[in-house]
Amino acid sequence: MPLKLDNESELREAQAALFNINSTGGWVMLNYVGPSTVHFAAGGENFEEIVNLLEDDQIQYGVLRIGNIEEKGTLKTTVRDVFFCWIGPGVGIIEKGKKTAFLGDAQQLLQPYHADITVLNKKNFNRENILDRSHPLSGSHVID
C-alpha cells in the first residue's frame, strides 16, 4: 500500500514557490495524519522555523533549500535542495519499522532534491550540519 497525500494541490503550490528559480532558501514539510497518510503541514522561508515544528513522537519529511553556498575555488554561489526524514526520539521501534516502508514514497512526493539526510537530534539540525551531511562525499547522512 503506497503512502497517500491528502492535500496534494497545497503541496505542489508550496513546492512551486520553493523551487522557483529565484528562490535561495525555504522549506516544505509533511506530517502523518494516519497510518499511511501524510499531509502538507507547513512551508516557509526561514530554516529555523522547522526545528520548532519537529515533534518528538512523530516521523516527518521535508525538503530544505539552502542558498548562498560558496563553491570552493570559485566566486560562484549555489543552492542545495536536501530531503530530510525526522525521526523523533519518542517514536517506538514498531512505528519506525512501519513508516520506514514509506520513505521511498515520501522521497517521490518531495522531488527534486540533491541529497537526503536522516535527522535524529533537533539540537544538531542546523545549516552547518546539514551542509556537511548532505555533501556527496560525507561519510554519514545522519544528524544525531
Which pLDDT does position 46 carry in this prediction? 86
Give the pLDDT confidence score for residue 47 in this predicted structure. Answer: 83
CATH code for the domain of 103: 3.40.20.10
Distance (Å, whole) CA 142 – CA 144: 6
* pTM score: 0.93
Q: Which domain holds residue 35?
A: 4-143
% of the chain residues with pLDDT over 70: 100
Question: What is the pLDDT of the chain when averaged over all its residues?
Answer: 93
- CA distance readout (Å), 104 to 50, 82, 88, 135: 22, 15, 19, 20
Residue with cell 512523530: 58
What tens digit of pLDDT does each residue of 116-133 get? 999 999 999 999 999 999
- Could you read off the pLDDT of 5-60 as tens digits, one per residue? 999 999 999 999 999 988 889 999 999 999 999 999 999 998 889 999 999 999 99
Which amino acid, one-letter code, is at 125?
Answer: F
Instruction: Measure the CA–CA gap between 103 and 80, rounded to whole angstroms.
Output: 20
**What is the total count of domains within the chain?**
1
pLDDT reading at 75 higher than 90:
no
Distance CA 29, CA 18 (A): 11
With residue 51 as reference, give the H or E element that holds it. Answer: helix 48-53
